[in-house]
Amino acid sequence: MKTWQFGILLFFILGLGGMLYYHPPQKIIQQENTVIMAKVYYTREEVNSSIERKLKMGQFDQVFDIYTNICKDQELISLLILKAQEKKIPINLLFALVAQESGFHPNATNKNEKSEDIGLMQLNTSRFKKYSRGRLFDITLNVELGTQHLRELYDKYGSWEEALLRYNGWGDKAVLHLARCLTKEREIDKIYNSY
């Protein structure tokens, strides 16, 4: 190797040439997040297809057994699966949202400064003004309105992550809510995949 070739090689190894191969950590994290998001979305499709096949084949008990690990109320499980299919919402995502919002407690409430979040899907009284507080506790109505709202957000923003983020408002609390929902969704995916 000639001296000038060695100098160029050394320049690339130790000097500025190494900068050509340097990627800022932020970009790497962004790339990792993209991979994680793609994997979660793929899991959603796979899980939904599997559930739909099982239901079409009449394997209701098997599907219910999976979700009784998450929620003990069979009627609520049935309602959530029905509404998820009707509104074309990923089933495990809906279960994760309800788990995060209310812990599957139909009488859950959360007081805000000027409004209140009510029921399983924590419907906000300022958003759903035309319904009385008492009516928002109705399980069927609460799930119908909540799933419709979630679907509308998805249709508007084009991703389930953005829909979840907007479901709970905007800002730091909404980002934390999104992270918790996605974590819960992965936990439910693991339960589903273990069957």
Identify the residue whose tokens are 């508007």.
Answer: 156
DSSP state for residue 16 in the 8-state scheme: G
> What pLDDT, on a 0 to 100 scale, did the predictor assign at position 6?
39
pLDDT digits (tens, 9 = 90+) for 133-189: 999 999 999 999 999 999 999 999 999 999 999 998 777 888 888 999 999 998 998
User: Is residue 184 within 8 Å of 166, Cβ to Cβ?
Assistant: no
Domains: count for the chain: 1
Which spans in the chain are helix H?
3-14, 25-56, 60-67, 74-87, 91-102, 133-136, 139-157, 160-167, 172-193
pLDDT value at residue 32? 46
Cβ neighbours of residue 161 closer than 8 Å, sequence gap 6 or more: 37, 178, 182
Decide if 113 is inside a domain: yes
Q: Is 7 among the domain residues?
A: no
Nearest to 36 by CA among 166, 194, 191, 183: 183
Other Cβ atoms closer than 10 A to 139: 16
Q: Is residue 13 part of a domain?
A: no
Say what the pTM is.
Answer: 0.76
Residue 187: which CATH number? 1.10.530
| Strand-by-strand arrangement of the 109-111 sheet | 109-111, 116-118, 123-124
Q: Is 2 domain-assigned?
A: no
State residue 123's pLDDT score.
Answer: 96
| 4 within some domain | no
56 lies in some domain: yes
- The token duo for 52 is 């739909």
Q: Which residues of the chain, if any, have pLDDT below 50? A: 2-42
Q: What is the pLDDT of residue 18?
A: 38
Residue 92 lies in a domain: yes
Q: What is the pLDDT of residue 190?
A: 83
Q: Burial code of 65-75, b = ≥16 C-beta within 10 A, e = fewer?
A: ebbeebeeeee
- For residue 131, what pLDDT is reported? 95
Domain coverage including residue 51: 21-193
In a domain, 16, yes or no: no
